[in-house]
Amino acid sequence: MNWYAIAAIYKFEMARTFRTLAQSVASPVLSTILYFVVFGSAIGSRIDDIEGVQYGAFIVPGLIMLTLLTQSVSNASFGIYFPKFIGTIYELLSAPISFIDIVVGFVGAAATKAVMIALIILATSTFFVDLQIAHPVWMFAFLFLTAITFSLFGFIIGIWAKNFEQLQLIPLLVITPLVFLGGSFYSISMLPPAWQTVSLFNPVLYLVSGFRWSFFEVADVSVGISLAMVCVFLALCLTAIWWIFKTGYRIKN
């Protein structure tokens, strides 16, 4: 691996974040504060504890996961799409670096930015609720693994997209609804049995459930299944990226 090339791509992508702090950091943090005001205070005051966890604290892992997924996908997709849009991707393809170096640079930067914002939101949430993390090691494991996996997924979207409309299509119409319907703000045990079965087909449910378990030891599905689902999706994303660079899909044309 060419570590100089990886570092160059990584530093360039991270520099773009610090040039747009208002959009990259302040915006998601402000949105999270609004979620706490609406869901945690206004609605949470009317809801009893969920499985022994105060509702305001119960939604924290879901809010973090919502931001983590959307930021990972959007950062990685825009990071690789913009060089395609302006034509500088051919400089990367002609440089003496492998596709692994390119992927590690872009995905590493996207995952770093997403984790950074997620940790800021985690720190912000402590001003609103009394929060304790039962398994901090597993919390960070789920955090980093999810960020890397969905940054890879965002990288695939950036390669696939032909315009800015397609770039926003999947994050807005697929990722966000799945997160909202994946138990971010409720437990699926609160749903009728039929809808509980339907929810099990939502892959985001397993991410939110495993991440929430690391906080409160409360989960809708087995932690082992949650971890396995993340690893399966990670493997699928790696396979898809390997195929993209092997065939030149929407890169060489």
Whether the CB-CB separation of 12 and 106 falls below 8 Å is answered with no
* pLDDT confidence of residue 184: 87
**Cα angle, residue 206 at apex, residues 205 and 209 outer, rounded to 5°:** 80
Q: How far is CA 122 from the centre of its chain?
A: 14
Domain spans, the chain: 3-247
* pLDDT confidence of residue 42: 65
* pLDDT confidence of residue 41: 66
* pLDDT confidence of residue 189: 87
* pLDDT confidence of residue 19: 74
**Cα angle, residue 59 at apex, residues 55 and 62 outer, rounded to 5°:** 160
Per-residue pLDDT of the chain in tens (253 residues, 90 and over written 9): 889 999 999 999 898 777 776 666 777 778 777 877 777 666 666 677 788 888 888 989 998 998 899 899 999 999 999 888 888 888 888 888 899 999 999 999 999 999 999 998 898 888 888 888 999 999 999 999 999 999 999 999 999 998 888 888 888 888 888 988 888 888 898 888 888 898 999 999 999 999 999 999 999 999 999 999 999 999 999 999 999 988 888 886 6
Distances (CA, A) of 136 to 64, 140, 141, 184: 14, 6, 8, 19
Contacts of 135 (CB under 8 A, 6+ apart): 213, 214, 215, 217
* pLDDT confidence of residue 95: 85
Cα distance between residue 15 and residue 22, in whole Å: 14
